[in-house]
Chains A and B, each alone.
Chain A
Amino acid sequence: MSKIGDWIDKRTGLGGPIRGFLNYPVPKYVHQNVLYILGGLTLIMFMLQAVTGIMLAFYFDPSPEGAYNSVDFITYQLPLGWLIRGIHHYGSGAMVILVALHMLRTYFFSAYKKPREINWLTGVLLLFVTLAFGFTGYLLPWDQKGYWATRVGTQIAGSVPLIGDTLMQLMRGGPNLGQATLTRFYATHILLLPAMIALLIAVHIFQLRYHGMSPAITEKSKAQSKSFVPFFPYWVLNDAIAGLGLLALLVFLSATQRAPLEFPADPTSGNFVPRPEWYFLFYYQALKYVPGALEPVATVLIPLFIFGSMILLPFIDKGEERRPWKKPVTTIAAIFYIVVIIGFTVLAL
């Protein structure tokens, strides 16, 4: 074993970097706090999405005539198709939740502060890429839900003043939803977004290693910050066990409730009420409260404001204070967002 290892190491030079990666010293306060598994767990969830996504691509037919039947085939006829599609479907929701929780952890521990601004920014982009995965993904079965949610979703882009129509047609690949839209969304979902997310994850993790863990915020943690354990197996094992639990949960969900497939898309149906996936429901609900004349406010300004405030956060909140209970402004702002998002989601259910 070690002879082969030596042989490979001498030729590739990978031994040192790998050892360095695995033996990276993790402070004990990090290793012992479960909140720190969220990032790794998100990565595991992404890997599950990648694996199940590649498998689904073996059977998916990206055409309006074939898409629905191929997903129907995967879900109801293919051996274990219910499982692979189930994990991918429920995994998309789990991914959104994990990204959000990971982000909240980072936020409340003020881990976005200097010198970790780039890490926060890549994180914000990763959140939006994750949502883009969701949005492009659920059109693919070409069922009523995917079709109508996309029709409405792209129409939202269409309400942007001046460039709206152009934007909408670019998203749809033409004035109407059809083959061009499906192919675009498919290519985005399986090629463009994976390439983007892989790059962002690489930068994100490199940043983490480069700056090390953000400083402890409690006295108890600070007391442990001089004591270290190696990344492998200590921290990796935490994530692996959590990942196993997550996988078990996704398998359980897939087995008890088949990943939904609504009836096939009918562009002429008059009685279908389009509703997006649950993680966009809060926004769907918000749009109900906006009068028509103010539509650009809801469709452009509010998303832009949310995105902008996330981007600007590390440049606005530059103080030394990292304890959330000592920084009421950021804490209350976050709680306000959480309450609004959860509240609107519940209202929309």
Chain B
Amino acid sequence: MNAKFLPILIASAIALSACAGAGPATSPPNTLTAVKVDAAAMDAAASFWANAPKTEIATKAADKSAKDGPKITLQAVYDSKNVVVRAEWADSTENTTRNAWTYNGTAFTRAGAQDRFAMNFPMGNYASFSSKGCAVACHSTDPDEAKWWMGSESPDERYDVWHWKSSETGLVNQVDDQWWGPKDTITSTTGRKNDAGTGGPVTNASADGKSPKFMNGKAPDAKLILSGEEIPLDVTKLKAGAVIPGYVLAPFKGSRGDVASKATFANGKWVLVFTRPLSTGNADDLVFTPPKAVPFGLAVFDNAGDNDHTVSQEVLTLAWK
């Protein structure tokens, strides 16, 4: 009996079996694995992205007859304080002019929408969301589309929502930090709410609603009118064909401004990076506690002003490595 090697053999047998019992060795599909880095920065070209695994997420419309949305390529990194997500998807057009005014030399017409991207995270351990995905919060099974609504069915069920809007928040490098809860009233069609805070877009319309009220004081043709830099509309400075933004933007302050973003559109592709502290200290935000995996949902909106969007219909998981 060669007994000397036995302890080693036993130890390795135990180690192996215990590892085998630890769960699936390969990362399952629909899992976004955030990789730990020394300093997570909101930089789409940073070298650490080379080490962060890419996950492809397919998106579909709730309306079965509508065509599928783009595939989203997701990556994530984190450090001791922040998580950074990088999303990339194909889009034939860059749309960042929601409700913008176009001047034809005599009058204005208001039109336009924006590209958007959103993620939502349950703020607790909700069995149905983590097994069925985002669909449980999108009450979209009724044949009558007018009855669809978004939100939760109980005050104990809340979702943290990060809603990037290319025109309303993207232009000031932010994401609208929102949350979903139950409907406020029986007749209301949404449980979507904004995190606490001030700032945000203010519609840019004159009292009669026929023209913009303000224009950019420095460059009349700029895509952005930052709050404080607006001047009253002065048509003498405009040429025919000029486009005036539909909103005056003030960056969010407070909990609603917790998520920062940076987006670029080039070669038919959006590249969006956004970041948030793992813990914001605000009651309306989810606290990430790596390595605890959390489920999430994802939606992309192509030039949409309303709820027209395509979503991942799978359970998505944010894991940490």
Contact = CB atoms under 8 A, between A and B. Distances in A.
A51 B4 CA distance: 30
A277 B130 contact: no
Contact of B128 (A35, A75, A266): A266
Interface stretch (A123-131, A182-190, A252-260): A252-260
B3 A34 contact: yes
A249 B14 CA distance: 9
A133 interface: no
Nearest to A95: B14
A179 B125 CA distance: 18
A267 B284 CA distance: 29
Contacts of B7: 34, 37, 242, 245
A344 interface: no
A93 B17 CA distance: 7
B292 A94 contact: no
Given A69-B124, A72-B125, A76-B289, 9 more contacts: A34-B7, A90-B21, A94-B18, A246-B14, A257-B22, A263-B125, A266-B130, A268-B131, A269-B128
Contacts of A297: none
Contact of B127 (A77, A101, A259, A264): A264
Given A35-B6, A257-B19, A263 B291 contact: no
B3 A35 contact: yes
A185 to B, nearest CB: 19
Nearest to A69: B125
A33 B128 contact: no
How many chain B residues sit at the interface, stated as a range, is: 20 to 34
A294 interface: no
B132 A245 contact: no
Interface string A186-224: 000000000000000000000000000000001000000
Interface in A75-104: 75-77, 90, 93-94, 97-98, 101
B6 A245 contact: no
B15 interface: yes
A278 interface: yes
A64 B22 CA distance: 23
B132 A264 contact: no
Nearest to A38: B10
B295 interface: yes
A250 to B, nearest CB: 8
A94 B20 CA distance: 12
A94 B14 CA distance: 6
A263 B6 CA distance: 38
B4 A265 contact: no
A333 interface: no
Contacts of B132: 266, 268-269
A46 to B, nearest CB: 15
B249 to A, nearest CB: 38
A263 B130 CA distance: 6
A264 B130 contact: yes
A271 B291 CA distance: 24
10 contacts: A34-B7, A37-B7, A72-B125, A93-B14, A218-B1, A253-B18, A263-B295, A265-B127, A272-B131, A349-B20
Contacts of A35: 1, 3, 6
A96 to B, nearest CB: 8
Interface in B16-44: 17-23
A263 B1 contact: no
B131 A76 contact: no
Given A266-B131, A268-B128, A269-B132, A249 B15 contact: yes
B14 A97 contact: yes
B4 A278 contact: no
B50 interface: no
A253 B20 CA distance: 11
B6 to A, nearest CB: 5
B17 A266 contact: no
A284 interface: no
Contact of B20 (A263, A265, A278): A278
B13 interface: yes
Given A68-B125, A77-B289, A278 B21 contact: yes
A144 interface: yes
A77 B128 CA distance: 23
Report the 4 A-B pairs with minimum CB-CB distance, sorted nearest first: A269-B131, A263-B130, A266-B131, A266-B127
Contacts of B15: 249, 253
The residue among A37, A93, A242 with the most chain B CB atoms within 10 A of its own CB is A93
Given A72-B292, A77-B289, A245-B11, A278 B17 contact: yes
Interface in A24-81: 32-35, 37-38, 68-69, 72, 75-77
Contacts of A258: 291
A253 B295 contact: no
B148 interface: no
Nearest to A96: B17
A97 B13 contact: yes
Contacts of B13: 97, 101
A307 B22 CA distance: 28
Contacts of B126: 264
Contacts of B127: 263-266, 269
